[in-house]
Amino acid sequence: MYGGFYMDEAMTLNQLAQDIDALWVLLATVLVFFMQAGFALVESGFTRQKNSANIIMKNVIDFLVASLVYFFIGIRIMYPDNSFSNIDIMFQTVFAGTAATIISGSVAERMKFSSYIVLSIVVTLFMYPINGLFIWGGGFLSQLGMIDFAGSTVVHATGGFIALGFVLVLGPRLGKYVNGQSKIIYGHSLTLGALGIFILWFGWFGFNGGSTFGITGDNRDVVGQVFATTNIAAAMGGVTALAYTWVKDKHASIGATLNGILAGLVGITAGAHVISPFHAIFVGLITSLIVTICIEVIDKKIKIDDPVGAISVHGIGGVIGTMLVAVFHQSEGIIVGNFSLLGIQVFGSLFIAFIATLFGFTVAFIMKKTIGIRVTKEEEIEGLDIHEHQTSSYPNFTISSTQKSD
């Protein structure tokens, strides 16, 4: 009798732990979903008001597509053994939406809305699931021992480098480069951009913390470590970008600081569970510094127009963060004299970056030759809100055709 009682009690406690773990993953799913709002605000704030509604719609489309295309098809490519529950699918679906949304910022203000829908479908149906298969779904990179805890490479580098490949075909915004010089095109609201960054920072605790897939037992301490490393890397990323631009440009750059925070978050995502809070300082510092420099180099030297800096923040930041796992891993990193992870972390992240760039370039080239990818010159000048959606986010500040003729 007593044996049966204790057995029943143990089963009850075990079931309770499973239920708590499931609830934790669902909570994390909601947090990551809310990151869509963060991306929408950042991208809208960093671009001009005449295109802000278009930016919002592209972010909405990404999650609509992910909720249908990835939920029913994409995840079965990514995890071919079909060993997942609805909770698992929902958690992975919000990640797929994030990967697609990263691209929308880089193609902002000049891409056709209809073509963007096609791009979002193709990314969530093929490219994101395939890259996920390589690392998370039992593919060859996971078999080689690559570590990408919550998606510095799978999610962020995939989105960032697809954006790079696509933008190479799409070209810059009108007036961005004049006589070979980069012209600053100011976004319409740093306030919205900053609010978006805070939302992303908030949601990132679910992005990284939920990737433990549980919070009971040993996972309790892991989640605590993940929260700490995530927050510290973000903070150090912001401080680094602020300090660098303050010294270099003699003023405290708001945009650079905000992107520095994101760079720290992207960088720590690959190894948040195996990097100590102390070493998270260096992940945030290194990733943010490299990303901040790359944003300027890509814009002014290479002359690739990326309105929100997504190629650098997510693409390059994701690759750097993944490589740094080999340096700062608590038990298998270079800091403890172990070089075993270095080769696979470098190779794996660069491999994903290469095929994502190639994919983005190829898709853009095919779409350009078939359905077209760019709005007309007139539409770009007057704004995508009016021409693509027959509306405006700021109607009181829109000049009507009657006013123009006057």
- 96 touches 159 (CB < 8 A): no
Say whether pLDDT at 268 is over 50. Answer: yes
pLDDT at 84: 82
- 215 touches 221 (CB < 8 A): no
Mean pLDDT of all residues in 344-363: 98
- Compute the Cα dihedral for 401, 402, 405, 406 and give only its sign: negative
Question: What letter does residue 399 receive in the DSSP assignment?
Answer: P
Structure confidence by residue, pLDDT tens digits, 135-184: 999 999 999 999 999 999 999 999 999 999 999 999 999 999 999 999 99
Structure confidence by residue, pLDDT tens digits, 6-42: 556 666 888 999 999 999 999 999 999 999 999 999 9
- Compute the Cα dihedral for 319, 282, 149, 99 and give only its sign: negative
Mean pLDDT of all residues in 185-204: 97
Name the residue with higher pLDDT: 80 or 9.
80
Domains and CATH numbers, the chain: 2-399 (1.10.3430.10)
User: What's the token pair of residue 146?
Assistant: 């690559």
Compute the mean pLDDT over every residue in the chain, rounded to the nearest whole number. Answer: 94
User: What's the token pair of residue 7?
Assistant: 């057995």
Confidence of residue 82 (pLDDT cuts 50, 70, 90): confident
Query: What residues are paired with 182 via a beta bridge?
Result: 177
How far, in Å, CA of 154 to CA of 225, rounded?
A: 21
First to last CA, the chain: 93
Nearest-CA neighbor of 160 among 354, 16, 367, 403?
354
Confidence of residue 395 (pLDDT cuts 50, 70, 90): confident
Mean pLDDT of all residues in 298-317: 98
pLDDT at 254: 96
